[in-house]
Structure 1
Amino acid sequence: MAARKKGGLGKGIDALISPSVKRETEKEKVVEEPVEKIVEKIVEVEKVVEKPVEQLMRIDEIEPNQLQPRKNFDEDALQELSESIKQFGLIQPIIVKNKGKYYEIVAGERRWRAARIAGLKEVPVIIKEYSEKESMEIAIVENLQREDLNPIEEAQAYQKLIEEFGLKQDEAAQRVSKSRTAVTNALRLLKLDERVQQMVIDEMISGGHARALLAIEDKEEQYLTAMLIFDNKMSVRETEKLVREHIKKEEEKRVEKKEDFSQMETIYHQLEERMKSVIGSKVAIHSRNYKKGKIEIEYYSNDELERIIDLIESVKQVG
């Protein structure tokens, strides 16, 4: 029988545990003390990391998430993806969760749509158990990180993330690996007139055009200016110039209106004094839009009221 080769596991144990413990006495005499207990068994514990199980599923068993932030899918881009899927298959599985009668997409709706166009009957999926809120958050974050949402969808996704999960803007930014400034600027687009927002979604104007229009406070003016931009195919720089001119004109109108109002106040004050001298009681003129208003005459007793009425009637008789 061949001699057993020394080394291996036994050598490893010997290196860790000495067969005896040497103790030096006060007289520097060394006495060997045998180890009473020896490790009889070494158990190696492996931490098994659970890997997601990928499986094939019929494509008609899967339905999109109604809370999906993306509402518009580029048909040309979907067609390109479907051609790639025909050639190479669906490389990345779709994440779904069990809804009982069907499986709902948590992440990967764009791939699912392209797979349908490609004519696939089955697609690779990973089934996960998520709550409604978790599913929503994953869908929102996945879409935001793809960076191909239109500016309004992106803003709406940020808003939903903030409202549904009670996040602050900087916390939402951190979730999607964006700067706080980027999130803030995106959210500002939701202050635009809804018709202007739809023009951005329909790609009639760009996000740059939309951000320039934010300087116009009046919603109707925003929309009219947006239509002007679209009709004249104006660039973002041309739009910014147009908006600056509009704001300048509005400011000039406000200054003129303020000056006119100041002049009219002086005139009304003079008229109040004239009427006071005639009627003999305090008079106040309240104007609306310089064309309409009301006159208030104060009285302090029934006798004074009768006197004022008699005065007005006497004026009428003279007239």
Structure 2
Amino acid sequence: MSTRKTQNRGLGRGLSALMADVGDDIGQGTEDRPRQPDMAVPIEKVHPNPEQPRRNFNADALHELSQSIAEHGIIQPLIVRANPRSHGEFEIVAGERRWRAAQMAKLHEIPVILREFSDTEVLEVAIIENIQRADLNPVEEATGFNQLMLKFGHTQEKLAEVLGKSRSHIANAVRLLNLPDEVLTHLREGRLSSGHARAILTADDPVALARQVIEKGLSVRETEKLVKAVTDPGRTAGSSPRKQRASPAKDADTKAIEDDLSAHLTMSVSIDHQPGAENGQITIRYDKLDQLDRLIGMLSV
């Protein structure tokens, strides 16, 4: 019983309420919408959250922010809570970048908004804050979405509503985490885009395809053609002209429906529909029996 209550507290305080606490806290904010601090505290009394999932802070961006803080001060105060490990000190809930930049700018005091947060809510807010940043790579973003769903029980629909993103965007992002580690590393380090990654996601050997894409500098469209050639060898030059004509290229609307269904089911979906005909077929590919069980459950409902 208590475990259920703990899980629901992320929904606990309410995701919208937590987002309201983070609010415009991302980055340095804007001068026309500053949030009023509860107090100013010595910078040495404020400490980062040791469980903060974000470990890397861009040095150039920090330097630029520190220059802004040195000239204008901290426009948006940090959100903190009483440090549970040290009486009279504070732990950062949101705003660690500003804290680091303020240290570089040699500020002695920083403005803060004091809130009461549980350990669970602190982690949840940290993930939310990180997802809202524009400089996340696709793997970091997908990991953030996945953490919010697995750790706190949020649905794709709820995340889409609160974070201002489409449900298909969230589903497509999370699906990327099914790729092998080597491909995720390429994606994390910018050698592949999320478009490339989605194209090779359902291939039998995404690692080999990723290496080809990087080596040849293929575009996303070229990568899609490469994947189709590998996964559908019946459409190669050796195929009979009649067979090739029987399987025309899918139109954009059909592809969009396939992508949306694939994102919703987190499985590969193919729609075969002849132009001008009323019939066709949908193929859903599952990679694990767990996916089949989930699909059967969905269809049974």
Q: TM-score range by the shorter chain?
A: 0.5 to 0.7
240-249 vs 66-75, greater mean Cα deviation: 66-75
Q: From the superposition, tell whether residues 226 and 250 of structure 1 become closer, same or farther in structure 2 (CA, over 3 Å).
A: farther
Aligned to 1:98: 82
Q: Is the 8 A contact 2:229 2:235 kept in 1?
A: no
User: Cα offset for 1:190?
Assistant: 0.7
Measured at CA, do residues 213 and 71 of structure 1 come closer, stay the same or move farther in structure 2, by a change above 3 Å?
Answer: farther
Q: What aligned pairs does 1:131-142 form with structure 2 within 5 A after superposition?
A: 131-142=118-129
- 1:1-319 aligned at under 5 Å gives the runs 53-99=37-83, 100-101=85-86, 102-216=89-203, 218=204, 221-249=205-233
- Evaluate the alpha carbon distance shift between residue 53 and residue 223 of structure 1 in structure 2; reply closer, same or farther with a 3 A threshold: same
Question: Secondary structure of the equivalent of 2:132?
Answer: helix
In the aligned structure 2, how far is the partner of 1:115 from the partner of 1:95?
14
After superposition, the Cα gap between the structure-2 partners of 1:238 and 1:141, relative to the gap in structure 1 and judged at 3 Å, is: same
8 Å CA contact 1:93–1:126 kept in 2: the answer is: yes
SS at the partner of 2:116? coil
Distance in 1, matches of 2:228 and 2:106, equals 52
Seen in structure 2, the aligned counterparts of structure 1 residues 125 and 223 have a Cα distance that, compared at 3 Å, is: same
Amino acid corresponding to residue 59 of structure 1 in structure 2:
I
Are the structure 2 counterparts of residues 60 and 249 from structure 1 closer, same or farther at C-alpha, using a change threshold of 3 Å?
farther
Distance verdict in 2 for CA 1:238–1:81, change over 3 Å: farther
Question: By how many angstroms is 1:150 displaced?
Answer: 1.5
In structure 1, distance between residues paired with 2:144 and 2:167: 15
Question: How many Å apart are 1:251 and its aligned residue?
Answer: 8.9
Aligned-pair distance for 1:111? 1.9
Tell me the SS of whatever aligns to 1:114.
Answer: helix
Shift of 1:53: 4.5
TM-score by length of 1: 0.56
User: 1:205 is paired with a residue of what secondary structure?
Assistant: coil
Superposed displacement of residue 136, structure 1: 2.0
CA distance in 2, matches of 1:155, 1:211: 13
Higher radius of gyration, 1 or 2: 1
Displacement, 1:234?
Answer: 2.8
TM-score of the aligned structures, taking structure 2 as reference length: 0.59
Specify the alignment match of 2:260 in structure 1. Answer: none
User: What is the identity, as a one-letter code, of the residue corresponding to 2:77?
Assistant: P
Separation (CA, whole Å) in 2 of partners of 1:130 and 1:156: 23
Hey, what's the Cα distance between the residues in 2 that align with 1:213 and 1:196? Answer: 10
Structure 1 residue 250, shift from structure 2 partner: 9.2
TM-superposed CA distance for 1:188, in Å, is 0.7
Q: How many corresponding residue pairs?
A: 200
Identity percentage over the alignment? 45
Contact between 1:70 and 1:149, CA under 8 Å: does it hold in 2?
A: no
Indicate conservation of the 8 Å contact 2:183/2:206, yes or no: yes
Which amino acid counterpart does residue 150 of structure 2 have in structure 1? E
Long gaps (5+) in structure 1: 1-50, 253-319
- Supply the AA of the counterpart residue of 2:99: W
How much is the aligned-residue C-alpha RMSD, in angstroms? Answer: 2.6
CA–CA separation in structure 1 for the residues paired with 2:129 and 2:152: 16
Structure 1's 59 and 240: CA in aligned 2 closer, same or farther, altered over 3 A? farther
Cα distance in 1 between the residues matched to 2:234 and 2:42: 61
**For residues 3-37 of structure 1, what are the alpha-carbon distances to aligned partners after superposition, in whole Å with 9 as ceiling and x for unaligned?**
xxxxxxxxxxxxxxxxxxxxxxxxxxxxxxxxxxx
* Deviation for aligned residue 1:67: 3.6
Q: Is the 8 A contact 2:40 2:111 kept in 1?
A: yes
Amino acid aligned to 1:244: K
Q: Secondary structure at the match of 2:165?
A: coil
AA aligned to 2:123 is: M
Say if 2:36 and 2:77, in contact at 8 Å, map to a contact too: no
Relative contact order (C-alpha < 8 Å, sep 6+): which is higher? 2
Deviation string for 1:63-101 (max 9, x for gaps)?
A: 322443434333332222222222222111111111232
